[in-house]
Amino acid sequence: MRKLPAKLASQLYGAAELIAERGLDGTKIEDIAEATGIPKATIYYHLDGKNAVLEFLLGDLLDMIAGAVGVAVASEENARTRLEAAVQAQLGVMLEHPSLCRALVGDLGRATRLPELAAALRTAFYEPIEQLLAEGVSDGSLRQVADPGAVALSVFGAITVAGLSAAVEGPSADPSADAARFSSAVSELVLDGLATPGSRDQRRGEPL
């Protein structure tokens, strides 16, 4: 099943839009066959079924994200700057592939139930952030927070939901402009927060 020929792989992308639109359940194998031009029998020859189609498509997306973010994170800058770069990289890839992103949101449940994908999700999205936050504390460019795990999760959420929503809003005319817009908004939030200097001094105590 692994290693399906390049030609088929590229044809398979023709199914992304379909799956994004109707969800995997709403999409019949026959539909996929028609949309991609690959006959059903051939699909089953290479792939283990519907899920494998999704797995292939999303696996690719996740690899692209992990790759781009990996590059962004590997520079010599301080963690704060690299965090900005990572945000930009992740949003850039996401906005370049809106239908894959829509497929991802739409079938998130299935995706997380596919073990290989679940792992890829983690390494593509969450781990780089977590790492960066820790490094930022070491190099002094990011603040020490009380609960690094929870904060990393939130940062991850801020970035990802922004990208996902952007993808869901139908593809834009200029994805890279959008990516820039969104990533500066996200960075602004994540780095500087929303409190005004005036209200910032009131320390939060124990809520509840």
Partner DNA sequence: TCGTATGTTGTACTCACGGTACAAACCAAG
Partner DNA sequence: CTTGGTTTGTACCGTGAGTACAACATACGA
Q: Does 51 bind DNA (CB under 7 A)?
A: yes
Q: Does 188 bind DNA (CB under 7 A)?
A: no
Name the phi and psi angles at 79, rounded to 5: -60, -40
Among 83, 86, 95, 117, binds its own copies (CB under 8 A): 83
Which CB, 5 or 205, lies closer to its own copies?
205
Q: Is 143 helix (H, G, I), strand (E, B) or coil?
A: coil
Among 1, 21, 22, 45, binds DNA (CB under 7 A): 45
Q: Does 208 bind its own copies (CB under 8 A)?
A: yes
The DSSP H or E segment spanning 134 is: helix 127-139
Neighbours of 185 (CB within 10 A): 14
Minimum Å distance from CB 5 to DNA?
Answer: 5
Minimum Å distance from CB 85 to DNA?
Answer: 40
C-alpha–C-alpha distance, residues 197 and 43, integer Å: 59
From residue 164 to residue 193, the character string flagging contacts with its own copies as x (rule: CB under 8 A) and all else as - is xx----------x--xxxxxxxxxxxxxxx
Kindly provide the b/e burial profile for residues 63-82, where b requires at least 16 CB atoms within 10 angstroms of the residue's own CB: ebbbebbeebbeeeeebbeb
* Positions that interact with DNA (CB under 7 A): 5, 8, 27-30, 38-42, 44-46, 49-51
